Chain A
Amino acid sequence: MAKWVGQPLKRVEDPRLLTGRGVFVADLPLKDPYAAAILRSPHAHARIRSIDASAALAARGVAGVITGADALAHTQPFAVGVQAPVKYYCLATDKARFVGEPVAVVIARDRYLAEDALELIQVEYEPLPAVVDPEDALKPGAPILHEAAGSNQACHREIVYGDVEGAFAAAAVVIRERFRFPKYSSTPIETYGVVAAYDAASGVLTITSNFMGPFILHALVARALGLAENRLRFVVPPEIGGSFGIKTSIFPYLAVMGLAAMRTGVTVRWIEDRREHLLASSSGVDRVAYRELAARDDGTILAMRTRWYDNVGGYVRSPEPGCTFRPVGNWVGPYRFANLAADAHVVLTNKSLTGPNRGYACGHLYFEIERMVDLLAQRLGMDPAEVRRRNFIQPGQFPYRTPSGGLYDSGDYPAAFERALEAAGYDKLLEEQKRARAAGRLYGVGLAVAVDPSVSNMGYITIALDPAVRARPEYLPKSGAIESATVKIDPLGKVTAILGTAPQGQGHQTIVAQIIADELGLAPGDITVVDEMDTFTRVWGISSGTYSSRFGSVGTSAAALAARKLKDKLVRLACALTEAPAESLVFADGRVMPRGGGSRGLTLKELAGRAHWNTQALPPGMEPALEATAVFGFPLADSPDAQDRVNSSNTYGFIAEVMAVEVDPETAEIKILRYVTVHDAGVIINPLIAEGQIAGGALHGLGGALWEELAYDSEGQFLSGSFIDYLVPSASQAPVIEVEHLATPSPFTTLGAKGLGEASSMTAPAAVANAVSDALAPLGIAITELPITPSRLWHLLDAARRRPR
Chain B
Amino acid sequence: MAEPRKIRMTVNGQAREGWAEPRRLLADFLREDLGLTGTHIGCEHGICGACTVLLNGEAARSCLMLAVQADGAELMTIEGLARGGVLHPLQEAFWEHHGLQCGFCTPGMLMAAYDFLRVNPDPTEEEIREALSAVLCRCTGYQGIVRAVKAAADRMRSAP
The yes or no verdict on A and B being binding partners is yes
| Also in contact, A20 and B38, with CB within 8 A (given A274-B45, A505-B101) | yes
Q: List chain B residues, Cβ under 8 A from A15.
A: 87, 95
Smallest beta-carbon distance B123→chain A, Å: 12
State whether B141 touches A20 (Cβ < 8 A).
no
Closest-CB distance, A699 to chain B (whole angstroms): 4
A504 in the interface, Cβ–Cβ < 8 Å? yes
Within 8 A of A (CB), among B97-139: 98, 100-107, 110, 126, 128-130, 132-133, 136-139
Complex interface bits, A709-740 against B, C-beta within 8 A gives 1, otherwise 0: 00000000000001110001011111011000
Which one of B44, B48, B81, B143 lies within 8 Å of A692 (CB-CB)? B143
Q: Tell yes or no: B18 within 8 A of A by CB.
A: no
Contacts of B110 in A (CB 8 A): 18
Interface size class of A (residues with CB under 8 A): 35 or more
The residues in B between 13 and 47 inclusive whose CB is less than 8 angstroms from any CB of A are 21, 23-24, 31, 36-45, 47
Contacts of A244 in B (CB 8 A): 138
Q: Are B36 and A695 in contact (CB under 8 A)?
A: no
Task: Kindly report which residue of chain B lies nearest to residue A698, judged by CB atoms.
Answer: B141
Hey, what's the 0/1 contact readout for B36-76 against A, CB within 8 Å counting as 1? 11111111110110100000000000000000000000000
Chain B residues with Cβ below 8 Å from A112 are 21, 23-24
Whether A239 is near chain B, meaning CB under 8 Å from some CB there, is: yes
Is the CB of A74 closer than 8 A to any CB of chain B?
no
Q: Give the segment of A185-193, A199-207, A472-480, A605-613 that binds chain B.
A: A185-193
Task: Tell me if A691 is interfacial: C-beta within 8 Å of chain B.
Answer: yes
Of A18, A21, A242, A691, which contacts B139 at CB under 8 A?
A242
Q: Are A732 and B129 in contact (CB under 8 A)?
A: yes
- Contact, CB under 8 Å: A189 / B38: no
The answer to whether A240 has its CB under 8 Å from any CB of chain B is yes
Contact A14 B138 (CB under 8 A): no
A-chain residues with CB within 8 Å of residue B43 when the two chains form the complex: 274, 722-723
List chain B residues, Cβ under 8 A from A633.
none
Given the known interface contacts A190-B42, A730-B132, A731-B146, the answer about A24 and B138 at a Cβ–Cβ threshold of 8 Å is no
Interface residues as binary, A670-699 with B (CB distance below 8 Å gives 1, 0 otherwise) = 000000000000000000110111011111
How far does the Cβ of B57 sit from chain A's closest Cβ, in whole Å?
18
Query: Please, how many angstroms separate the alpha-carbon atoms of A504 and B137 in the complex?
Result: 13
**Are A241 and B103 touching (Cβ within 8 A)?**
yes
Decide: A723 and B45 in contact? CB cutoff 8 A.
yes
Given the complex of chains A and B, what is the CA–CA distance between A241 and B132 in angstroms? 19
Determine the residue in chain A with the shortest Cβ distance to B128.
Answer: A731
B133's nearest neighbour on chain A, judged by CB, is A730
* B145 proximal to A (CB < 8 A): yes
CB distance from A155 to the nearest CB of B (A): 31
Q: How far is the CA of A112 from the CA of B101 in the complex (A)?
A: 31
Q: Which residues of A contact B138 (CB under 8 A)?
A: 186-189, 242, 244, 696, 700, 728
Complex contacts, B78 vs chain A, CB 8 Å: 18-20
Contact between B87 and A507, CB atoms less than 8 A apart: no
Assembly CA distance A191 to B45 (angstroms):
14
Contacts of A697 in B (CB 8 A): 141
B100, B102, B139 — most chain A CB neighbours (10 Å) = B102
| Nearest opposing residue in chain B for A22, CB measure | B103
Contact A189:B105 (CB < 8 A) given known A19-B38, A699-B142? yes
Chain B residues with CB under 8 Å of A188's CB are 102, 104, 138
A8-48 vs B: 1/0 string, CB under 8 Å?
A: 00110111011111111011000000000000000000000
**Residue B96 lies at the interface, judged by CB distance under 8 Å to chain A:** yes
B101 adjacent to A506 (CB under 8 Å): yes
**Cβ A730 vs Cβ B136 within 8 A:** yes
Q: Assess A239 versus B102: contact at CB under 8 Å? Given A274-B44, A724-B45.
A: yes
A10: B residues at CB distance < 8 A: 95-96, 98
Check B98 against A11 for contact (C-beta < 8 Å).
yes
Tell whether, in the assembled complex, residue A695 and residue B141 are in contact, meaning their CB atoms are under 8 Å apart. Answer: yes
Q: Is A273 an interface residue (CB 8 A)?
A: yes
Question: Which A-chain residue is minimally distant from B47 (CB atoms)?
Answer: A723
CB <8 Å contact, A692 and B101: yes
Contact B42 A689, beta carbon cutoff 8 Å: no
A9 to chain B minimum Cβ distance, whole angstroms, is: 10
Q: Are B106 and A692 in contact (CB under 8 A)?
A: no
Contacts of A11 in B (CB 8 A): 95, 98
Kindly report which residue of chain B lies nearest to residue A244, judged by CB atoms: B138
Task: Decide: A19 near B103, CB < 8 A? Known: A26-B37, A189-B48, A696-B141.
Answer: no
Residues of B within 8 A of A700 (CB): 138
Given A19-B79, A241-B102, A737-B143, verify A731-B23 contact (CB < 8 Å): no
Chain B residues 145-160 with CB under 8 Å of chain A are 145-146
What would 24 A/B residue contacts be, using CB atoms closer than 8 Å? A11-B98, A14-B94, A14-B95, A18-B100, A19-B38, A19-B78, A19-B81, A19-B91, A20-B37, A21-B79, A26-B37, A189-B48, A190-B102, A241-B104, A242-B102, A506-B101, A696-B140, A698-B141, A723-B48, A730-B142, A731-B128, A732-B126, A734-B129, A736-B143
Residues of A participating in the B interface, judged by any CB pair closer than 8 Å:
10-11, 13-15, 17-24, 26-27, 112, 186-191, 239-242, 244, 271, 273-274, 504-507, 688-689, 691-693, 695-700, 722-724, 728, 730-734, 736-737
3 shortest interchain CB distances as A-B pairs? A20-B38, A505-B102, A17-B103
Other than the known A274-B48, A699-B142, A734-B129, what 10 A-B pairs have Cβ atoms closer than 8 Å? A18-B78, A19-B79, A19-B87, A186-B138, A241-B40, A274-B45, A692-B98, A730-B142, A731-B146, A732-B129
